[in-house]
C-alpha cells in the first residue's frame, strides 16, 4: 500500500493508516471537521520524525481492521489494546499508552455512588467484548451488581443519563474527555488497569513501518513531545465557549455539521444525476419490444432493489478493490452506491410513467402519420414526465436521506459528522436534535426548489 510521494526533500513513502471514528480523545473530529486526537497526533509526529507521509482512513474500529486484513491499509492505530488473541493475527508496536478504566455516574448521583462498595444491587453497563466487561464479571460476585453489555460508549452514557442504568465502566481517558466536554457524568471510585495500547500491522508484514513507529515513539518520549500531546487532550479545557450549554454545543458543533451537510448535498446531487441517466436508459429498456433488453433491465432493477444499500456500500469500498487490485476512492464508492440503487427505482418510475399515458395518445399520433419514435418523443414522453415528476422529487429526497448510510464506510456526510461530535461529548440526544433540524430544513428547501422547477417546466 505504500506509495512514493514527491516532497520538498525528495521522494517519501506514504502509508495508509486506518483508524476509528468514535474514540475521543484518541481519534475524533474537531469543531472544524478535522481528524485529530492522541493517536492522530502521535502518528503524525512520528511520520514527521521518520520522514514518511500518512494517508488517513477514518473507518470505525471493526472496519479499520477489515481494511487492514484486506490490505487496503498498512496499519491500524485506534486505541487498540494489545492482547494475546490479537497478537496471533497482528504484529504490534511498543506500547504507546497504558490505559485505565473508571466508573462513571450522573452528576446528581455522585454522592450516592462513590466507588465499588456502593454498587450492591445497582445496574452496571459495559461495552461488549471489552476489557471493562471482563473486569466487571470478575468483580460481580464480590460487589453484587447487575451487568448489561452494550455496543458503544455513547450507548453506555445514554443508558446512565436516561436512568436505564446506574453506573458505567469504560476507558478513563474516553470518559474523562466526555466529562470535560459537558457529558453530564462524573467519574467515581478507583481506576482499574486496562492494558497497553499499540499500533498494529498484519502478521509478518510492514516490519519496516513498525520499526519506524517504535524508533519515532522513543524519539517523541525523549524530546518531551509525547507528553505534550497527552497534555493537549487530557488536560483541563479553558476555552471561552461554555460547552455544557446547548448554545455552546451549537456553536462548537456547527462548523463540522455544515461540512457534513455540504458533503451530503454534493454526493446526493452527483448520484442523482447519474441515477437519472441510468434510470431513463433502463426504464426505456424495460418497455422495449426487445426481449433481451427487457431482461437486462429487469435483472438490474431486481438486483439493486432487492439488496440493502449497505451491502453495496461495503462491496464498492471493501470488496471491489480486492477484485480489481486497486483502492476505490470513498467518493466513488458513495456515488456508485446511491446512484445504482436510485437508478433501479427511477427505472420503475419511468416505466410506470410511460405506461400511465393513455394508449389512445399513441394511436392518435400514429394516425396522424408520426412514427413510433416521434410519437414517443412528441406526444407520450411529455405527458409521462409530468406524471413522473412528483415521484422523481420524492426519489431525490429519499437519496438525500439514504446518504446517511454511507457513514458505515467512513464517508464524512452529515450524520457521520454528528457521530464524531457525540462520540467525544456523549450528548447524543442534543446533537441528533440539531442534525434532525438541519435535515428538515435542507429537505424542505430542496423540495420547494424541486416543486418550483416542476411548475416552471410542466406549466
- Over the stretch 102-152, which tens digit does the pLDDT of each residue have? 999 988 876 788 888 889 989 999 887 677 888 889 899 988 999 998 877
Residue 111 shares a structural domain with residue 77: no
Instruction: Confirm whether 280 is domain-assigned.
Output: yes
Residue 355 shares a structural domain with residue 341: yes
Residue 33 shares a structural domain with residue 159: no
Range of the domain at 339: 246-457
Instruction: Confirm whether 428 is domain-assigned.
Output: yes
**Number of domains comprising the chain:** 3
- Of the candidates 159, 117, 112, 163, the residue with the CA atom closest to the CA atom of residue 142: 117
| pLDDT reported for residue 240 | 47
DSSP states of 376-418: IIIIIHHHHHHHHHHHHHHHHHHHHHHGGGGGGGT---HHHHH
- Over the stretch 381-397, which tens digit does the pLDDT of each residue have? 777 788 888 888 899 99
Question: For 1-144, where are the alpha helices, taking DSSP H only?
Answer: 38-50, 61-69, 84-87, 131-143
- Over the stretch 205-261, which tens digit does the pLDDT of each residue have? 889 999 999 999 999 999 999 999 988 887 655 454 455 677 777 887 888 888 889
Query: Exposed, middle or buried by CB within 10 Å (0-12, 13-18, 19+), for 436?
Result: exposed
- What's the CATH number where 341 sits? 1.10.3720.10
Instruction: Confirm whether 182 is domain-assigned.
Output: yes
Contact 282, 303 (CB under 8 A): no
| pLDDT reported for residue 375 | 66
Residue 223 shares a structural domain with residue 159: no
Instruction: Confirm whether 107 is domain-assigned.
Output: yes
Residue 229 shares a structural domain with residue 251: no
d(CA 176, CA 173): 5
| pLDDT reported for residue 433 | 93
Residue 307 shares a structural domain with residue 360: yes
pTM: 0.65
Which of the four pLDDT bands, split at 50, 70 and 90, describes residue 66? confident
φ/ψ (deg, to 5) at 281 = -60, -50
| pLDDT reported for residue 353 | 84
Q: Once rounded to an integer, what is the mean pLDDT over residues 76-101?
A: 89
Residue 202 shares a structural domain with residue 271: no
Residue 64 shares a structural domain with residue 44: yes
Residue 168 shares a structural domain with residue 208: no
The residue assigned the cell 454526493 is: 267
Residue 181 shares a structural domain with residue 72: no
Residue 413 shares a structural domain with residue 285: yes
Instruction: Confirm whether 241 is domain-assigned.
Output: no
- What's the CATH number where 170 sits? 3.40.190.10
Amino acid at each position: 500500500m505504500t506509495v512514493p510521494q514527491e516532497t520538498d526533500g525528495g521522494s517519501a513513502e506514504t502509508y495508509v493508516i486506518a483508524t476509528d471514528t468514535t474514540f475521543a480523545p484518541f481519534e475524533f473530529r474537531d469543531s472544524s471537521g478535522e481528524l485529530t486526537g492522541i493517536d492522530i497526533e502521535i502518528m503524525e509526529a512520528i511520520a514527521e520524525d521518520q520522514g514518511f507521509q500518512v494517508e488517513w482512513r477514518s473507518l470505525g474500529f471493526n472496519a479499520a481492521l477489515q481494511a487492514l486484513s484486506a490490505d487496503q491499509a498498512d496499519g491500524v492505530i485506534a486505541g487498540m489494546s494489545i492482547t494475546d488473541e490479537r497478537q496471533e493475527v497482528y504484529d504490534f508496536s511498543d506500547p504507546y499508552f497504558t490505559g485505565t478504566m473508571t466508573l462513571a455516574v450522573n452528576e446528581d448521583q455522585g454522592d450516592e455512588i462513590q466507588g465499588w462498595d456502593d454498587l450492591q444491587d445497582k445496574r452496571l453497563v459495559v461495552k461488549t467484548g471489552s476489557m471493562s466487561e471482563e473486569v466487571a464479571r470478575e468483580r460481580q460476585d464480590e460487589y453484587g451488581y447487575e451487568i448489561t453489555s452494550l455496543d458503544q460508549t455513547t450507548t453506555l452514557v445514554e443508558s446512565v443519563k436516561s436512568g436505564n442504568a446506574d453506573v458505567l465502566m469504560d476507558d478513563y481517558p474516553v470518559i474523562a474527555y466526555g466529562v470535560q466536554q459537558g457529558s453530564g457524568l462524573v467519574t467515581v471510585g478507583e481506576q482499574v488497569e486496562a492494558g497497553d495500547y499499540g499500533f498494529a500491522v498484519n502478521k509478518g508484514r510492514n516490519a519496516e513501518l513498525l520499526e519506524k513507529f517504535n524508533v519515532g515513539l522513543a524519539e517523541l518520549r525523549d524530546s518531551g513531545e509525547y507528553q505534550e500531546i497527552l497534555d493537549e487532550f487530557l488536560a483541563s479545557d479553558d476555552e471561552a465557549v461554555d460547552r455544557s450549554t446547548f448554545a455552546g454545543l451549537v456553536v462548537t458543533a456547527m462548523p463540522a455539521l455544515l461540512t457534513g451537510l455540504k458533503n451530503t448535498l454534493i454526493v446526493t446531487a452527483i448520484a442523482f444525476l447519474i441515477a437519472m441517466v441510468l434510470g431513463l436508459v433502463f426504464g426505456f429498456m424495460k418497455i422495449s419490444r426487445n426481449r433481451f433488453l427487457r431482461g437486462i433491465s429487469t435483472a438490474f432493477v431486481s438486483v439493486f432493489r432487492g439488496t440493502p444499500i449497505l451491502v453495496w456500500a461495503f462491496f464498492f469500498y471493501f470488496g471491489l478493490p480486492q477484485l480489481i487490485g486497486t483502492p476505490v476512492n470513498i467518493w466513488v464508492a458513495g456515488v456508485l452506491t446511491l446512484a445504482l440503487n436510485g437508478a433501479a427505482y427511477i427505472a420503475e418510475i419511468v416505466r410506470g410513467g410511460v405506461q400511465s399515458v393513455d394508449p389512445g395518445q399513441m394511436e392518435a399520433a400514429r394516425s396522424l402519420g408520426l412514427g413510433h419514435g416521434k410519437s414517443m418523443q412528441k406526444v407520450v414522453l411529455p405527458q409521462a414526465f409530468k406524471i413522473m415528476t412528483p415521484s422523481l422529487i420524492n426519489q431525490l429526497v429519499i437519496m438525500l436521506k439514504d446518504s446517511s448510510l454511507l457513514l458505515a464506510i467512513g464517508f464524512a456526510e452529515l450524520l457521520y459528522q454528528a457521530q464524531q461530535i457525540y462520540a467525544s461529548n456523549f450528548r447524543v440526544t442534543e446533537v441528533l436534535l440539531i442534525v434532525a433540524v438541519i435535515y428538515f430544513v435542507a429537505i424542505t428547501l430542496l423540495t420547494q426548489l424541486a416543486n418550483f422547477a416542476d411548475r416552471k417546466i410542466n406549466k
